[in-house]
Each structure stands twice: as C-alpha cells, then as structure tokens.
Amino acid sequence: MLGYDPEHLTEQQRSVVKSALRDPKTNAFIAAGFLAQIKEETGCANIPADRLTDARMQEIAARYNGGPYWQSDKAQNYGDDFQKNLGNVKKAMQ
C-alpha cells in the first residue's frame, strides 16, 4: 500500500513503514487501501460492504490477515474469529 516491495525493503524504507503504522490515522488509511485491494482481487469491488455474504467477508478477513498465505490455518482461523465476532463489533459501533 505504501509503494514498497515488502520483500526488498531498505532500512530507511522499513523505518518509514514502521513510523506510518504507529500513527493511527495513517494505519487506518493503509488498512482501508489494503481492504479495497482485497475486495477488488476477490471480484467484490463493486459490492457495498453491507451486501457482502458472510463467506465473502470471512475470505476477505483471511486474505487481510494472511496476505499471500491467506489459505493457511492461521489466516483461516482469523477469518473464522472475524465472523464469530462481527455481531459484537456491529453492536459496539452503534
């Protein structure tokens, strides 16, 4: 999202990324961009968030957590936990 190749970061680039992630506004902006990218990759770019199926949201959560390894058990567990806690999050935001 920041325009860097994560596998080939210089120390200066790594410092910029770490600094950006420590700032809540920048962190949220980066996360939103990453989620938009994931929605596009899954063919859901034009589907409003409130119209995504549970299965799609779970997949997006797993992809968000796991990146290229989104099908790993760890990322899939994140997707499952996301789905289990979604109702509580919605209540908390009301």
Domain assignment of residue 69, yes or no:
yes
Count up the domains in the chain and report the number.
1
Domain assignment of residue 13, yes or no:
yes
27: Cβ contacts below 8 Å, ≥ 6 apart: 20, 21
Q: Is the pLDDT of residue 3 over 80?
A: no
Q: What is the pTM of this model?
A: 0.76
Residue pLDDT, tens place only, 15-54: 888 888 898 998 898 889 999 999 999 999 999 988 999 8
Owning domain of residue 35:
8-92
Domain assignment of residue 1, yes or no:
no
User: Measured between alpha carbons, how far is 35 from 5 in angstroms, rounded to an integer?
Assistant: 18
Instruction: Specify the pLDDT at position 10.
Output: 86
Domain assignment of residue 2, yes or no:
no
Instruction: Specify the pLDDT at position 79.
Output: 93
